[in-house]
Amino acid sequence: MVDNKPKEHAAESLIIHYLLENGFKLSKPSFDQEGADLLILDNITEKSTSFLKLQSKYRSFASDSNSSVTIPIKYVTENFVLFLYAGTDSGEKKLYTFFIEDIKRWRNKGENYHLTISERNLREYETNIFSKTSIHLLNEKLKNTAVKPYTSIIIDGIFLEKALNQTRTLYSKIWEAKEFKHPILGDIIKNILDYNRFPESAGDINCVLFISDYHHLESVVHIPDLRKTTIGLPHVKLSIHRSDQMIGFQVTEYLDRIINTENIILVADDYLYQESLNNLKDKGVDIIIVKQSTDLGSRLFTQFRWGDITYPIGLSLGLLRHEL
């Protein structure tokens, strides 16, 4: 089987080149964003912004044969755009753009839209070849797409483990006869949301937990097996990312990729975040940080609003609010 990955990457690089050349601001999501390979952003200095979801496809075929493209219907929203780099094996390939209005005219096959691609068929789509008209339509789509203020909670698992241990030690000295519960991750997330001062989200809240292979977060908090159960919060979607790499760098990279499209609650307290967070503050971005107080050793100082992680954890241990 022929490996088309290099050509797929080359097509995506070509698309990025054309868009940057025409003044568009781009972001590349780390994880699945409803079929999006790239995002076009309206204003990178705002905490929330209009954006377009771009999917990139490469198709090559013999002159006497055809190929095809299939797009899940659920991906095709008002802000979805397909970029297709296609042509015959030996002939010139061209870049085509398809908006929601174009894709809805394709054949409907179950839960997908389907387009057959052949030399003859592509001649019917010459008006979709990337041009000044495409640039105008992209700008119009971006301008008319409503801002959707989604909210994400990003959790540094190394910090959460440290905070759980320190919080249990702290309250054990205050309430010596108290028998603490084994904390549940869903309860901690629920309590962290008490600090949420962003506008109500348009959809579910996305929670991303980064876990290091070299630490033992599972020994101090119950983490559900997402293949079998949920965290018990119907409006919160949890994803867990395990890694043997530096968690701080992965959190920072993920933060950079979504900061322009979502409100962020960052659960972290490492000095390595300070420079990047202060740079975001200088750009006018707003983040809520959940960390430790300086009394418990925090060295992370920013101008963002922040909440003390001790209280959400204390509640998850079974303490009442007047006992915190």
Residue-wise pLDDT for 29-78, tens only, equals 755 556 678 888 876 655 456 788 899 999 988 888 889 999 998 888 88
Where residue 256 falls among pLDDT bands split at 50, 70, 90?
Answer: confident
Question: From residue 284, how far is each of 28, 45, 47, 48, 300 by CA, in Å?
Answer: 21, 6, 7, 11, 19
Which residue has tokens 């809240």? 205
Output the pTM of the full model: 0.59
Mean pLDDT of 112-122: 92
- Using the 3D structure, point to which of 106, 129, 144 is the last residue of a domain: 144
Residues 189 and 138 in one domain: no
> Hey, what are 166's tokens?
């320190």
Per-residue pLDDT tens over the stretch 147-181: 546 789 999 999 999 999 999 999 999 999 999 99
Residues 314 and 181 in one domain: yes
Q: What is the CATH number of the domain that holds 289?
A: 3.40.50
Residues 164 and 302 in one domain: yes
For residue 38, the enclosing domain spans 5-144
Query: In this structure, how many other beta carbons lie within 10 angstroms of the beta carbon of residue 238?
Result: 20
Classified as helix, coil or strand, 199 is coil
Residues 127 and 217 in one domain: no
Residues 82 and 159 in one domain: no
Residues 89 and 63 in one domain: yes
Residue 3 confidence (pLDDT) above 60: no
- Using the 3D structure, point to which of 144, 162, 188 is the last residue of a domain: 144
- In the chain, the number of structural domains is 2
Which residue has tokens 């394709």? 106
Question: From residue 10, how far is each of 40, 59, 75, 87, 111 by CA, in Å?
Answer: 19, 12, 23, 14, 29
